[in-house]
Amino acid sequence: MWERILQIVRKEFRQTLREPRLRTMLIMPPLIQTIIFGFAVNLDVEHVKLGWMDLDRGVESVELRRHFQGSPTFTITHEAGSEAEAQALLDRGDVQAIVRIAPGFSRDIGSGKQAQAQVLLDGTNSNTAAIMGNYATAVIATRNRELLGERQREKLVDRTAAGPILLKIPGVEPERRVWFNPDLKSRNYFVPGIIVNIITLVTLMLTALSIVREKEIGTMEQIMVTPIRPMELILGKTIPFAIMGMFDLLLITGVALAVFHVPLRGSFALLVFAGALFLLSTLGAGLFMSTISETQQQAMMASFFFFQPTFMLSGFSFPIANMPTLVQWVTYLNPLRYFMDIVRGVFLKGVGIEVLWPQLLALAVMGTIILLSSALRFHKRLD
């Protein structure tokens, strides 16, 4: 039995490594994706180009401007003198946000009234707009607190013979501390997720393609007339791609650590173990695609039909917690979701089996079911 499996595995490696296209497919996608997500894709909001529209030109508006200039998030790049100019700045995308200070701003503050400062946001990218809005509000809130403090102090300062005594002002100071990714780098979030992405693509696609290619060129028929058992053929056809998937896991982990300094806080062995469990699902799915496809094109199409939704619902870029409840339930059927949890848990949180066992169990159960049901569909007959 092992003899035959070994023969197929050896042949599969020879063919894959000999074919430049397939060889490229093993190395380039993981590298390119890792580099793109590591360097280019950045959801962190920094250096926002800000337009300044000051219709007040008083002491207070200058003071507020000083606060915005002092913030690392904002850079004031443009001035707008009129509504039309402000409109044009946003239309052309010269600025991402505009702070508009109404006439009488300084006067209102001086007389103890509520003064109006408007923040206009380019909402084309809703996510970025929300974050910019939060930052702008925070800058204004800081100025607000200062103003409030000054006022309170004026009222509360008690004059004695020895001089003024400052009274304490009660208040709550929030202290924010982020765990697992203290600098809130989106890179740390995305790069480990690529492992899930790439392993799925490579193993699903290569498995399906390698089987369907043999159907196309007629060698599958030739193999089917030999005494080989279906299980031997299936193992021979999946083991090579399991090994290649593991190679990609190592490759991406290596790049993540060496180039991007993504922290790997948990156990590497656990990551590899979870990867092996996850492969059961993707190899099974690849095998399934090969049973429903007659040509390599069909196999490609079928693989993409599987890959796109499972990837979207994996939590790689869109948080599952934000999805409608029904869709959230659907994600429980998605093996990528569990492996994504595990990969991020191991990399960023450094948690182990004591926390991740439900996900590991889910992968084991789903993988077994997918692989076995696909294997049962795989016959040694042409009809």
Partner 1 sequence: MPPDGNAVEIRNLVKRFGEFVAVDHVTLDVGRGEIFGFLGPNGAGKSTTIRILCGLLAPTSGSAQVHGYDVAAQSEQVKQSIGYMSQKFSLYDDLTVEENLDFFSGIYGVPHELRAERKAFALRMAGLEDERASMTRLLAGGWKQRLALGCAILHQPPILFLDEPTSGVDPMARRQFWDLIYAMAEQGTTVFVSTHYMEEAEYCHRLALMYKGRTIALGAPSELKAEHGDGATMNDVFIASIERAEEEGL
Residues lying near partner 1 in the complex (CB under 8 A) are found at 3-4, 6-8, 10-11, 14-15, 18-19, 217-219, 221-228, 380-383
CB 363 within 8 A of CB 281: yes
- Of 228 and 264, CB closest to partner 1: 228
- Of 18 and 155, CB closest to partner 1: 18
For the bound state, the minimum distance from the C-beta of residue 13 to partner 1, rounded and expressed in Å, comes to 11
For the bound state, the minimum distance from the C-beta of residue 379 to partner 1, rounded and expressed in Å, comes to 10
Give the pairing type, strands 74-79 and 48-54: parallel
Residues 6 or more apart in contact with residue 364 via CB below 8 angstroms: 277, 280
For the bound state, the minimum distance from the C-beta of residue 284 to partner 1, rounded and expressed in Å, comes to 23
Cα 373 to its chain centre, rounded Å, is 31
- Of 10 and 377, CB closest to partner 1: 10
Q: Which of 153, 59, 66 is nearest to 107 (CA)?
A: 59
Would you call 255 helix, strand, or coil by DSSP? helix
For the bound state, the minimum distance from the C-beta of residue 239 to partner 1, rounded and expressed in Å, comes to 15
For the bound state, the minimum distance from the C-beta of residue 131 to partner 1, rounded and expressed in Å, comes to 52
Would you call 179 helix, strand, or coil by DSSP? coil
Residue 312, classified by CB atoms within 10 Å of its CB into exposed (0-12), middle (13-18) or buried (19+), is: middle
- Of 20 and 319, CB closest to partner 1: 20
CB 359 within 8 A of CB 338: yes
Dig out the tokens for 69 from the structure.
């200039």
For the bound state, the minimum distance from the C-beta of residue 77 to partner 1, rounded and expressed in Å, comes to 58
Give, to the nearest 10 degrees, the angle between helix 20-35 and helix 230-258. Answer: 40
- Of 1 and 333, CB closest to partner 1: 1
Question: Which regions of the chain does DSSP assign to beta strands (E)?
Answer: 48-54, 74-79, 97-101, 117-121, 158-160, 163-165
- Of 168 and 381, CB closest to partner 1: 381
CB 121 within 8 A of CB 89: no
Residues 6 or more apart in contact with residue 241 via CB below 8 angstroms: 12, 202, 203, 206, 207, 210, 283, 286
For the bound state, the minimum distance from the C-beta of residue 15 to partner 1, rounded and expressed in Å, comes to 5
Render the burial of 53-71: b for 16+ CB within 10 Å, e for the rest. Answer: bbbbebebbeebbeebeee
Cα–Cα distance for residue pair 44/112, rounded to 1 Å: 37
- Of 48 and 209, CB closest to partner 1: 209
For the bound state, the minimum distance from the C-beta of residue 335 to partner 1, rounded and expressed in Å, comes to 32
Dig out the tokens for 168 from the structure.
């304490």
CB 242 within 8 A of CB 328: no
- Of 15 and 298, CB closest to partner 1: 15
- Of 224 and 276, CB closest to partner 1: 224
For the bound state, the minimum distance from the C-beta of residue 25 to partner 1, rounded and expressed in Å, comes to 15
- Residues forming a β-bridge with 34: none
- Of 33 and 238, CB closest to partner 1: 238
- Residues forming a β-bridge with 49: 75
For the bound state, the minimum distance from the C-beta of residue 227 to partner 1, rounded and expressed in Å, comes to 5
